[in-house]
Amino acid sequence: IIALCSMFLIILFLNIMVGGGVFRSPWHIGCGSFEFWGVHVIMAFFLLASAWAAQTYLMAQHEIKQLVLFDYVHGDIQWDKRAGIVYPLIFGAAGIFAGVFGIGGGMICVPLLLTMGVHPMVATATSSCMILFTSIASVTSFSILGLIPW
């Protein structure tokens, strides 16, 4: 949880530093400039590196559990090589579609989690947690762009 919150705060910080709308960039970055796109590329690489690190960790944990003959319970995700590649791609695509079409990510992610065999209560809690992060990001972006009439 600490890693997730840290990653979120770093991305939020970079997003604020880019500025836009009524909020001038503290780093004097102009919209559409080379620096603007550079910071966005850095954010994308940071997210991809974080996803890769999480995937590597989960797959290593799965290997250890296999060695000690760990008994999985109903709803546990077994992060084997296939799951470590397929699930992040599916959820990445779900996030892109949710952002492009303006629908809630939970509308896509909860059925996917249920299809993966995750317990319904865990799938619902995961969706609720996602709302917290997306709401904070949205309020920050709308504030920077001056779209909230304070």
Query: What is the residue whose two structure tokens read 């970079």?
Result: 14
pLDDT tens per residue across span 53-98: 999 999 999 999 999 999 988 888 888 888 888 888 888 888 888 8
Cβ pair 106, 91 in contact under 8 A: no
Cβ atoms 129, 4 nearer than 8 A: no
Cα of 76 vs its chain's centroid, Å: 20
Query: pLDDT per residue over 111-141, tens digit each?
Result: 888 988 888 998 899 888 888 888 888 888 8
Q: What is the DSSP string of 85-144?
A: HHHHHHHHHHHHHHHHHT--THHHHHHHHHHHT--HHHHHHHHHHHHHHHHHHHHHHHHH
Structure tokens at 9: 């705060």
Instruction: Please tell me the pTM assigned to this model.
Output: 0.80
